[in-house]
Amino acid sequence: MDMAVADIGVIKQHLIDPEICIRCNTCEATCPVGAITHDDRNYVVRADVCNGCMACISPCPTGSIDNWRSMPVAKAYSIEEQLTWDELPAELTPEQLQAEGAGAPAELPPQQQAATAAAATASEQIAEPEPGTVAFNSAQYGATTPPWSAAHAYTNLYPPKAPTTATVVGNFNCTEAGYENQTHHIVLDLGAMPFPVLEGQSIGIIPPGTDASGKPHFARQYSVASPRNGERPGYNNISLTVKRVLQDHQGRPVRGVASNYVCDLKVGDKVQVIGPFGSSFLMPNHPKSHIVMICTGTGSAPMRAMTEWRRRLRKSGKFEGGKLLLFFGARTQQELPYFGPLQSLPKDFIDINFAFSRTPGSPKRYVQDLMRERAADLAELLKDGQSHFYVCGLKSMEEGVVLALRDVAGEAGLDWDTVGAALKREGRLHLETY
């Protein structure tokens, strides 16, 4: 029996704080029972589906997911109500609960406590699906803890109600000129304001103005593309990789509010910034650790940051890095961000593999196709406990990539359930898709 609808008079209803949420979709992608949904403004939790397993709590980069309200079962907030919120409702007082005919939250009966505990345990483990009954769930293999050697990440220094201001010091199109699908490299200077970031973290940018309903725009999240010591070493600046959105996932014309605002910024413009966010999608810092990076489009941002930090370490001569292996996909070579700079990196520093899915006259190739072609090399890395895997890009790529890892493992005689569980447990397989 689900905890959320147990007939105990009062429940602790799971809610998402719309003031803090940055709409990154992590919670919905992580929820194992499909209790979380969203519209174009808010993410919400279905009280009649949520079983209190807590699987979504740890991955949330802002903590907006960890909110609870004591509510009479019969008056639990519906998703329709939650979708209209700009802030969470106040907690009901004991007197208000009593007036609704409900007492204090009752302790769950032993059998429900056991069911809830089992659900929580199950959410942390990788379940073995019955053949033909459950679709492959790639998200269950994604780690929610960072590598053991990751640096400490500072998060939520600037919340939505108290953003800081950054100045644009650079903005250029990092895809080939003349193509409609533009991706811009944006450099922001934080001045004297403390804003420590690590490779793999993200920030939020608040577009000016209001939406169609007259409400202020909420922040949009962007991965940081620069290493920890700045886009320009020794300066308090960061870079972003932002694609100008001109159509939705169905190919219909739209004009992305935040992406077009950011891509149109001029040097000297001021922007409102929140964050940083993220405490698990972080790179290892110990010598001889290997990094396998699999990305598409603007999912290259954290990979650029990790690669540049390793390049700077190598140049210093003070760090012995392991292997760097990059699988990078785009529609065409012309639309691939940073294609030129990537070509100039030494071959003995990073092993780069490109996949283009819309090159005229050529068959479609995706990153998972390249991974299967490099199965022998990936198998050796899967066997090595020093290997760390990072996946970033569109949600549609995630399943294919994890399935490719599973197939590579199987062909090498490795048990994927054992390997996948170890990667998750040890913080060595990170999935950040949207």
CA-to-CA distance for 74 and 88, rounded, in angstroms? Answer: 19
Please report which confidence band the pLDDT of residue 19 belongs to, taking 50, 70 and 90 as the band edges: confident
> What percent of the chain shows pLDDT beyond 90?
65
Tokens of residue 281, six digits: 């999608």
Look at residue 297 and tell me whether its pLDDT is greater than 70.
yes
The residues that bridge with 216 in the sheet, in sequence order, are 210
Active-site residue flag, 222: yes
- pLDDT tens per residue, range 299-313: 999 999 999 999 999
Please report which confidence band the pLDDT of residue 65 belongs to, taking 50, 70 and 90 as the band edges: very high
Candidate list 77, 154, 235, 434, residue with the active-site label = 434
Q: How far is CA 174 from the centre of its chain?
A: 23
Task: Give the list of residues 6+ apart from residue 64 with CB closer than 8 angstroms, or none.
Answer: 16, 17, 18, 19, 20, 21, 22
Domain segments of the chain: what residues? 3-124, 164-277, 290-433
Decide if 260 contacts 129 (C-beta within 8 A).
no
Look at residue 29 and tell me whether its pLDDT is greater than 70.
yes
Active-site residue flag, 174: no
Look at residue 341 and tell me whether its pLDDT is greater than 60.
yes
pLDDT for 134: 59
Active-site residue flag, 392: yes
For the residues 385-391, what does the mean pLDDT come to?
98
For the residues 94-120, what does the mean pLDDT come to?
55
Q: Which CATH architecture has domain 164-277?
A: Beta Barrel (2.40)
Which of 160-164, 331-335, 380-384 shows the lowest mean pLDDT across its residues?
Answer: 331-335
pLDDT for 24: 85
CA-to-CA distance for 389 and 420, rounded, in angstroms? Answer: 11
Candidate list 261, 279, 392, 398, residue with the active-site label = 392
Q: Answer with the residue of higher pLDDT: 271 or 11.
A: 271
Instruction: Report cis status (omega within 30 of 0) of the bond before 276.
Output: yes
Candidate list 308, 335, 398, 432, residue with the active-site label = 432
Tokens of residue 13, six digits: 């209803």
**Secondary structure class of 67 (helix, strand, coil):** strand
pLDDT for 369: 97
Q: Answer with the residue of higher pLDDT: 153 or 20.
A: 153
**Secondary structure class of 258 (helix, strand, coil):** helix
Candidate list 123, 138, 223, 300, residue with the active-site label = 223
For the residues 162-171, what does the mean pLDDT come to?
97
Active-site residue flag, 28: no
- pLDDT tens per residue, range 132-151: 545 788 888 999 999 999 99
Look at residue 314 and tell me whether its pLDDT is greater than 60.
yes
Question: DSSP of 72-105, one letter per residue?
Answer: EGGGPPPHHHHTT-SSPPPPPPHHHHHHTT--SP
pLDDT for 123: 42
Which of 171, 164, 396, 332 shows the shortest CA–CA distance to 264?
Answer: 171
> What percent of the chain shows pLDDT beyond 70?
89
Q: Answer with the residue of higher pLDDT: 9 or 182.
A: 182
Candidate list 43, 141, 158, 222, residue with the active-site label = 222
Look at residue 392 and tell me whether its pLDDT is greater than 90.
yes
pLDDT for 405: 98
Q: Which of 3.40.50.300, 3.30.9.100, 3.40.50.80, 2.60.40.2550 would CATH assign to domain 290-433?
A: 3.40.50.80
Please report which confidence band the pLDDT of residue 103 belongs to, taking 50, 70 and 90 as the band edges: low
CA-to-CA distance for 225 and 242, rounded, in angstroms? Answer: 10
Q: Which of 1.10.1240.10, 3.30.70.20, 3.30.1330.20, 3.50.50.60 would CATH assign to domain 3-124?
A: 3.30.70.20
Tokens of residue 118, six digits: 């089992």
Active-site residue flag, 432: yes
Which of 4-13, 53-62, 378-387 shows the lowest mean pLDDT across its residues?
Answer: 4-13
pLDDT for 213: 85
CA-atom Rg of the chain in angstroms: 23
Looking at every residue in the chain, the average pLDDT score rounds to 88
pLDDT for 102: 64
Please report which confidence band the pLDDT of residue 281 belongs to, taking 50, 70 and 90 as the band edges: very high
Decide if 244 contacts 335 (C-beta within 8 A).
no
Look at residue 119 and tell me whether its pLDDT is greater than 80.
no
